[in-house]
Amino acid sequence: MNPKGRTRETKPATTTVGTLRMLLAPSPRMGPMDVGLAALVTALIGFGVVMVYSASAVEATVVFRDPQYFLKRQVLYAVAAVVSMLAISRIDYHKLRPLTYPLLGLVTLLMVLSVIGFGHTGGGAARWLRVGSIQIQPSEAAKIALVLWLAYSLAKKQERVKSFSVGMLPHLIMAGALMLLCLKQPDFGGAAVLLLLTFTLLFAAGARLGYLLGLAIGALGVAAYLVNSADYRKARWLAWLHMDAHRQDLAFQPFQSVMSFGSGELTGLGLGNGYQVLYLPEAHTDFVAAIIGEELGFVAILGLCVVYVVIVARGVRAALSADDEYGAYIAFGIAILFGAQALVNLAVAMAVLPTKGLTLPFVSYGGSSLVTSAMAMGILLNVSRPRVTGNTRSSTDQPEASAFVVSEAGFAPPSQACDARCANSHAPPEDAALEGAT
């Protein structure tokens, strides 16, 4: 056989095959993942499926003549989300390093396509790309891609993070580019989340507080300008401030949402017995929390808040116990993402904030949001898995020198170094002395 032919056969056919081989290659031994966190998220996804059905059955019947139209799709999304989460939790997060820039470039390209005319418009915003019967929302993936890139960059720069030109400016430029693409869709809420992720990760990495304070002040100024420069944003802001006067037009959605929480009182009207599903627009997506409050009451909303607090706390714990700064930044960023998005969604549903268009993680209807969030949770679960280190050979084999002995041997005089190594080895002193001589 031609040797050259054999060489060609052993090469990967495409870059995709090579990437899959890298991801599926054996990883260092890992301990168990955070089973409690995985079970909590899985239960939350299941709860979301139930609430989506309760909130969407009326609309699905009227529009599609099928009360289970949204339920069937959400079940498929939920299965894909759980499978993705468990599969990614088994892939060592260190293997994501070489994929950082390809993922960031792909997401940026998709967002550019969504704003230059290829995006599918819904609710006045071109946030989706249609691939056959599937709709993809690139801004959801952009949040995860930005977290991975910030973690990679900040872990690599370490002490240079305190420098403005090295630690601040490049990250602000990249985040600003993604935020600008979000604003062009327009997606003000998504842009705000990207800024928050950048701010918190820079803070966690040790950036100068003066720079961060300036960033916060500048962000408030830009936000005020953006609200006043767009008529629809300004009108929505004024309607939110004067909700009673606009409850039949621009403030109709938040007003009905507040009515839902009031109707539910402490324990709710009962699952499937809510009335606001007849009046509240987007009840199964951005305002599913209002239906939860009406049908299951304040107790369920309080329990939901506790669940998100636990998710954030477990994520922060994974960050503090991570093996390296790269993993710590990833875990911290993902935890903040879930916490911030849940907080904003609930605040909007209660009319504490103006309408933003952010989904409730793991609960709201939508494939892009649910599957992307589950994939991010899979990465977080992998970071939470302790790496098994140390000698894995049997006790009858010659053990390796510990880090303590190595450091002692490196700084002590030769005779003391030999004594230290001999004391920590089952080998005869003569053999240890010969090893020190070599």
Whether residue 315 contacts residue 376, with contact meaning beta carbons closer than 8 Å, is answered with no
Q: Are residues 283 and 423 in the same domain?
A: no
What pLDDT is recorded for position 29? 76
- The answer to whether residue 208 scores a pLDDT higher than 50 is yes
pLDDT at 243 over 90: no
Q: Choose the most confident range, by mean pLDDT, from 126-140, 189-203, 217-231, 416-430.
A: 189-203
Please give the mean pLDDT across all residues of the chain: 83
Q: Which two tokens stand for residue 269?
A: 């009207």
Residue 24 lies in a domain: no
Number of domains in the chain: 2
Helices and strands per DSSP (H, E), number in the chain: 17, 3
- Per-residue pLDDT for 24 more than 80? no
**Could you tell me if 287 and 413 lie in one domain?**
no
Same-domain check for residues 418 and 379: no
- Structural domain range at position 428: 403-437
Q: What is the mean pLDDT of residues 208-236?
A: 90
Tens digit of each residue's pLDDT (9 = 90 or more) over 106-133: 999 999 998 887 776 665 566 778 777 7
Find all residues with CB under 8 Å of 56, minimum gap 6, and list them: 69, 70, 71, 277, 283, 284, 365
Q: What is the mean pLDDT of residues 275-290?
A: 90
Q: Is the pLDDT of residue 414 over 60?
A: no
Phi, psi values for residue 282, rounded to 5°: 55, 40
Environment class of 54 (CB within 10 Å of its CB; exposed 0-12, middle 13-18, buried 19+): buried
Residues 276 and 410 in one domain: no
Q: How confident is the model at residue 381 (pLDDT cuts 50, 70, 90)?
A: very high
pLDDT tier at 14, thresholds 50, 70, 90: low
**Residue 135: beta bridge partners?**
130
What is the rounded average pLDDT of the residues 23-31? 67
End-to-end CA, the chain: 46
Let me know if residue 334 belongs to a domain: yes
Asked whether the predicted pLDDT for residue 310 surpasses 50, the reply is yes
* Cβ pair 51, 291 in contact under 8 A: yes
Dihedral sign for Cα atoms in the order 296, 301, 306, 312 = positive
423 part of a folded domain:
yes
- CA atoms 385, 390, 394, 395: torsion sign: negative
Which one-letter DSSP state was computed for residue 390? S
* Whether residues 407 and 372 fall in one domain: no
For 187-264, where are the alpha helices, taking DSSP H only? 188-205, 209-229, 231-241, 252-264
- For the entire predicted model, the pTM comes to 0.82
Residues 362 and 424 placed together within one structural domain of the fold: no
Q: How confident is the model at residue 124, as a pLDDT? A: 59
121 has which bridge partners? 126
Q: Using the predicted structure, report yes or no on whether residue 426 has a pLDDT greater than 90.
A: no
Could you tell me if residue 168 is inside a domain?
yes
